[in-house]
Amino acid sequence: MKKLIPILVMLISLTSFAQDSQNINYFTVKENLLKGQKLAIIAADSLENPNEHINGVYNFSVNGFKQELKFNDGVAVCPLQIEKSAFIFIKHINDVKNPSNLYYVYKKDNDLKPIKISWYVLLIVPVGLILIGYMFRRLIGFVIFILMVLFYFYYSKGLSIPTFFESALGGIKNIF
């Protein structure tokens, strides 16, 4: 009986390790290799190296729409077609944590170039402009104009206020 307990503990720890390796805690977004105006979501580790051991169906939210993506060797193709340049907010719905990333997908001809936007850059630009406006009173009109252009650009490319704050709060949560 005493020999059986260490074996059971070892088996339990191995099964929990195997289940943890199937969780997606980090991911990156690239253009699909077939150039079908679709994005490929690649499961990765914390250093953004591809994790090829991920297989199966995982739940994601793409700009608020729930998508069940099928991963084969760590890669899944998002079924939504990109018609023009836009902001894409992708969130993995997971039991452990919900990793999310904001991307600006730049479309030129038939090529897609996803650019990851960090949450602190998303916040620093408007806050920096507001601080410049307060420091230099003569520039306040110019700063307000630039902020209006910035927010119009965000809005016209699909970045809504809730998505803006969800991206920023998700980044702040990842710090702690």
* Whether the predicted pLDDT of 9 surpasses 70: no
Q: 163 Cβ partners below 8 Å, 6+ apart?
A: 63, 64, 87, 89, 102
- Under the banding of pLDDT at 50, 70 and 90, the label for residue 70 is very high
Look up tokens 């836009």; give the residue: 86
Q: By three-state DSSP, how is residue 55 classified?
A: coil
Q: What is the largest CA-CA distance in the chain?
A: 82
Strand ranges (E), the chain: 26-31, 39-44, 56-62, 65-71, 75-77, 86-92, 100-108, 111-117
- What is the residue extent of each domain of the chain? 1-117, 118-176
- Under the banding of pLDDT at 50, 70 and 90, the label for residue 3 is low
Stretch 37-45: mean pLDDT, rounded?
87
* Position with higher pLDDT, 113 vs 11: 113
CA angle 104/110/116 to nearest 5° reads: 15
CA angle 47/69/53 to nearest 5° reads: 45
